[in-house]
Structure 1
Amino acid sequence: MPAKPKRKLKTYQTSLGFYDQAIAAPSMKAALEAWGASSNLFHQGAAKETDDRDIVAATMARPGVVLRRPVGSDGPFTESAALPTDLAEGEARPRSKSKTKTRLKSRPGSTKRPARTVRTASPEIDDQAARKAAAAFAKEEKRREAERRKEEAARTKARARRDKAVAIAEAALDRARREHDARAEQIDAERAALDERAEAEQARWDKQRKTLEHALRRARA
């Protein structure tokens, strides 16, 4: 049976937290999984496919690897990107298109039109390079999956240790409670016996006292 052909990779881009992120993946779903997104960023308009030559070249060189750059910057995408240096001033946020257009409008009385943005075409990727990139993506995807399984195994092991510790603590508490209840019951029984003995002694003394007081009164008569 012939091998299933690998899907052609595309470059997807989004902004999460302090970083712009890009990845070469065969589908939007694969990109979302690599980003660890909990919602569909593409439907929300927070992610897109890009054909920027530099971004495509960077991601195709490391297919399946999430590349980053400080959010709002126009620097290269890398695996290890530094935090934005001007977070305190709030300048690291990406500029909206509306604000950019407003700044590009001509001043009153001026007839000069803003320069038109030139969109660079994405580099052509031949079939051999595409197959190589797809294979690299599959390898990276397997590595990520193995890492996820390893992390899940570690979490499962930690939960098992925690559950065992909880079970031991609960058993110790139950054992101590049973011992306490048994001792309290014994003390209550002993207290009841002492109360019974005290009542018996009081009754005996009352009887003896009356007899002796009667004898004393006869002796004095």
Structure 2
Amino acid sequence: MARKLKTYQTSLGFFDLAIAAPSMKAALEAWGADSNLFHQGAAKESDDPDIIAAAMAKPGVVLRRPVGSDGSFGERAELPTNLGGSGAKKAARKSKGSQAKQLYSRPVDKAAERKAALVYEKEQKRRERERASEEAAKQKDRERRQHAVDKAQAALEKAEQEHAKRAAAIKAEVEALEKRSRTEEARWDKEKERLEAALRRVRGWSTVLSRRHPRAAPSTRIGQ
């Protein structure tokens, strides 16, 4: 069953705002208010028949008119031209003075109220479908971006693992080469020591032999 609509009114910035909504909360959401204007005394339920009629004709739609004026509400409104002037004050007083008379001059159309409530509910369902569709599209986009991030992350991790594997293999090769180098150095030190010892022995034997068997001096003949 469609909830009964009420007409709410406030002033924000350069405009008076009005809307037919099922609750104050719905009105605040439609106005985009970030605080409870009703508790602050800046918003109220309207009792102006003209405002109610205009709002009920377009339930759920935020209607506007220049602030301080007594003109009709519409979806679009021009900026006020007499801000701070006496014209705005007179218009405001005129609007307040005429509200009481208008309140009793026009009977409440129950059928119109029910129709407006049904239109509002239909419009709300349409907006909810749009929001759901937008949210689904956003979710799909988030999932697509997350998939791309996950894919890139997996590629990075795979590359890091491959790099670590190659670096470990290179390190093992370097350590093996260093071990072979140390082994070769140790072998060469021993071999060199053995050869140098052999060389010293040979040189020592040669010295002993030359002392034991000196070479004969060349003969010198007279007259030659």
TM-score normalised by L of structure 1: 0.70
How many pairs align? Answer: 193
Residue 181 of structure 1 is matched in structure 2 by 164
Q: For the Cα contact (< 8 Å) 2:8–2:43, is it kept in 1? A: yes
- 1:57 maps to 2:53: yes
Give the 5 Å matches for 1:58-73. Answer: 58-69=54-65, 72=67
Q: Equivalents in 1 of 2:128, 2:109: separation in Å?
A: 28
Residue 145 of structure 1 is matched in structure 2 by 128
Distance 1:46 1:180, change over 3 A: farther
Q: Equivalents in 1 of 2:63, 2:41: separation in Å?
A: 20
Once the two structures are superposed, residues 128-149 of structure 1 have per-residue CA deviations (whole angstroms, 9 ceiling, x without a partner) of 2122212211111111211221
Distance 1:218 1:85, change over 3 A: farther
Gapped regions of structure 2 (runs ≥ 5): 205-224
Gapped regions of structure 1 (runs ≥ 5): 105-114
CA drift at 1:54: 4.1
Whichever structure has more helix as a proportion of its residues is 2
- 1:209 maps to 2:205: no
Which of these residues, 14, 18, 21, is aligned with residue 25 of structure 1?
A: 21
- 1:194 maps to 2:190: no
Give the 5 Å matches for 1:68-107. Answer: 68-69=64-65, 72=67, 74=69, 76-81=72-77
Give the 5 Å matches for 1:33-44. Answer: 33-37=29-33, 39-44=35-40
- 1:12 maps to 2:16: no
Task: State the one-letter code of the partner of 1:28.
Answer: M
TM-score normalised by L of structure 2: 0.70
Paired-residue identity, %: 58
Which of these residues, 87, 109, 118, is aligned with residue 97 of structure 2?
A: 118
Displaced runs of 4 or more, over 6 A: none
CA drift at 1:27: 2.1
Q: Equivalents in 1 of 2:159, 2:13: separation in Å?
A: 51
Q: Equivalents in 2 of 1:184, 1:29: separation in Å?
A: 64
Q: For the Cα contact (< 8 Å) 2:4–2:114, is it kept in 1? A: yes
